[in-house]
Structures are given as C-alpha cells and as structure tokens.
Amino acid sequence: MNNSFTIAIDGPAASGKGTLARRLAEKYGFHHLDSGLTYRAVGHALLDAGLPLDSEDLAVIVAENLDLGKLDRTILSSHEIGNAASKVAVMSRVREVLVEVQREFARKEPGTVIDGRDIGTVVCPDANVKLYITASPEVRANRRYKEIIDSGGEADYEAILADIKIRDERDMSRKDSPLKPAEDAHLLDTTEMSIETAFQTALAIVEEEQNR
C-alpha cells in the first residue's frame, strides 16, 4: 500500500478524457500519464526503424526499453502513429509490459491521473475514482476535426469519423483488456456537454469520492 490517490479515466478516442485528465491533475497537483502515449511510442519506434508492426517479439523489446520521460505528445499525436498504436495494443505481451510501467507510475505521490482504455478495469482496479468518458462518434470526429483546423492543419471530417469507428471497433472487440467501463466507474457522456461542464461534473465526482 502507499499514500497515492489515483484517478483512472477511460474512454474511446477523442472523448475528451485527455483534456479532463490534464485539468484534474493540474487542479490537484497530481502527476498525469496519458497511457495512450506509451502504446503510441512503441508504434512510433517500430515505424521509425522500418520494422513490421505485426511482430510481437519486436514490439515487446521496444516496450521493455520505453522511457516515460521521453514521451513527446507533439511527435506521437499523428494519425499514422495512432493506428500503429492500436495494432501493437492487441498484443498481450506488449500490454503486460506497458501495464507494469503504468502501475509503477500510479504509485507516485501525492497522486496520479491516468487516462486510457483499461485503467479502471486492468491497470488500476483499486483506483480511488474511476471515470468513463464517452460521446457519440460524430461529436468526437467533429472535435478532432476542429482541433486540427484550429491548429492550422487540413482535415477531412468523413475520414476522421471512419477512422474513429475503426479504432472503436478494434479497441472494444479485442480479446485482451477490451475498452469497457469498470463496474464501479462513473459514466460521463459528453455528447451534449461543453468541456467546462464536463470538467465541473468530473470535479464534483472526485470531491465526493475524496470525502468518503
């Protein structure tokens, strides 16, 4: 046992869980880990080295050598790397290695916020607070589209929507640690919520759990 307070946040791509996780971490002075970046870093290293994405042995070696201090969101956020990440994420031995890295992170004091797909179900089943964030695929695609356009890039809404649906399907149907809410997770559907309302709602849930 240790004295760390853990907030686990799960949900599909572009549900807003990353923004909520960052804001909660900032509010409480907790460490934040976007666990998706660990899968992305493995996909990126394989792509970068020109190695195949379907060799579990190679992906495990890359995962074992992962340095959490070197996860760079700007490099890892591309669409191609996201796709590579969801391919290595179906490999059980890769997941085993990365789950251990994430559990170690969860022990940091005074507390941590970790977001991903299986944090409340597998990585931190004893988390103090579990949130499961969803929104319709259309709203998520639209948010991602706006994000890219606002940062000066070019985007195709239909292509983003199709990609989100493929990733949902891959994440929810995989045998090992599929994306689903933990039984004791608080569900937050942000389809018709602003990010501010979602944050205030999440905050109220955390405060309630802290006062238990």
Which residues contact ligand C5P (rule: CB under 6 A)?
A: 13, 35-36, 39-40, 82, 85-86, 89, 116-119, 167, 171
Smallest separation (angstroms) from ligand C5P to the CB of 50: 21
Residue closer to ligand C5P by CB (options 73, 210) is: 73
Residue closer to ligand C5P by CB (options 36, 137) is: 36
Smallest separation (angstroms) from ligand C5P to the CB of 194: 21
For residue 30, what are the CA distances in angstroms to 46, 85, 121, 187? 31, 26, 21, 22
Exposed/middle/buried for residue 126 (C-beta within 10 Å: 0-12, 13-18, 19+): exposed
Residue closer to ligand C5P by CB (options 21, 202) is: 21
Smallest separation (angstroms) from ligand C5P to the CB of 35: 4
Residue closer to ligand C5P by CB (options 88, 206) is: 88
CB 119 within 8 A of CB 195: no
Residue closer to ligand C5P by CB (options 30, 105) is: 105
Smallest separation (angstroms) from ligand C5P to the CB of 89: 3
CB 31 within 8 A of CB 109: no
> Which residue in the block uniquely carries the two structure tokens 């900032």?
26
What secondary structure, in 3-state letters, does 6-59 show? EEEEECCCCCCHHHHHHHHHHHHCCEEEEHHHHHHHHHHHHHHCCCCCCCHHHH
CB 11 within 8 A of CB 121: no
